[in-house]
Amino acid sequence: MIRLALPKGRNLDAALVAFRAAGIGLDGLNGAGRSLRTRLPEEGIEVLSLKDWDLPLYVTHGIADCGIVGSDVLEEVDGDLLVPLRLLQGRSRLSFIGREGAMPAPGTQVRLATKYPNTARRIVAGRAWGAEIVKLSGSIELAPILRLAELALDIVQTGRTLAENHLVEIETVAEVSACLVVNRASYQRHRALLNDWIGRLEAAGVVS
């Protein structure tokens, strides 16, 4: 039995589409509703349903053998995980957003609102301007609208929310994709099965 952690939210769809295309049977999940833990005995898989931010922790500790998680979260929490694949489905961008013309001039100091303070600190360290980083847990777009911060660093998928709120994507700093992550020791234990999955995902053309 291998334990697969799947995220809630937007990366779940990306994961399910990719696994279906690769013929890895997770159809048993359809009837599972809101169950947090679903056994698929025929496939030899147990699926855990976790929040994005908790998922790397479960895999790092080997509670889950592997999982699907966004590279945005992975970069931020920085666990010691294997990252064999990045899925094509559900890609987005990590971008600076703000009002028109909000890009700070060299030598200025701004406030930057984000869910990703570690990533933000690394990025800002390479800039000609400085930022006080304000960690928020959601509705990041509100920060520049209400002037809590001049800039925000957040995920942009279609840009529709931005347009509706008269904000612009000032600069893309990273491409974000859902990644297959694997615990180091689990990789040794389940190498044959994981390599089979990886091969099928690659053959299905759903990975970059």
* For other proteins, the closer CB: 38 or 183: 183
* For other proteins, the closer CB: 29 or 77: 77
**Residue 206 to residue 208: CA distance in whole angstroms:** 7
Pairing of strands 92-98, 168-176: antiparallel
Half-sphere exposure at residue 102, Cβ-oriented, CA atoms within 13 angstroms? 25
Query: By the 8 A CB rule, do 127 and 133 touch?
Result: no
* Least gap, CB of 196 to other proteins (angstroms): 11
* For other proteins, the closer CB: 29 or 85: 85
At residue 61's C-alpha, the angle toward residues 196 and 91, to 5°, is: 55
* For other proteins, the closer CB: 129 or 187: 187
* Least gap, CB of 50 to other proteins (angstroms): 14
- Cβ-in-10-Å burial (0-12, 13-18, 19+) of 72 comes to buried
Give one word for 139, left, alpha or beta, with left for phi > 0 and alpha for psi -120 to 50.
left
* Least gap, CB of 7 to other proteins (angstroms): 18
* For other proteins, the closer CB: 8 or 86: 86
* Least gap, CB of 17 to other proteins (angstroms): 18
* Least gap, CB of 86 to other proteins (angstroms): 6
The number of angstroms, rounded, from the C-alpha of 141 to the middle of its chain's C-alpha atoms is 18
Q: How far is CA 94 from CA 22, 102, 144, 153, 179, in A?
A: 28, 17, 16, 7, 15
The site for other proteins (CB under 8 A) is made up of 57, 60-63, 77-86, 182-189, 191, 195, 198, 202, 207-208
* Least gap, CB of 182 to other proteins (angstroms): 7
* For other proteins, the closer CB: 25 or 84: 84
Count of Cβ atoms closer than 10 Å to residue 118 Cβ: 14
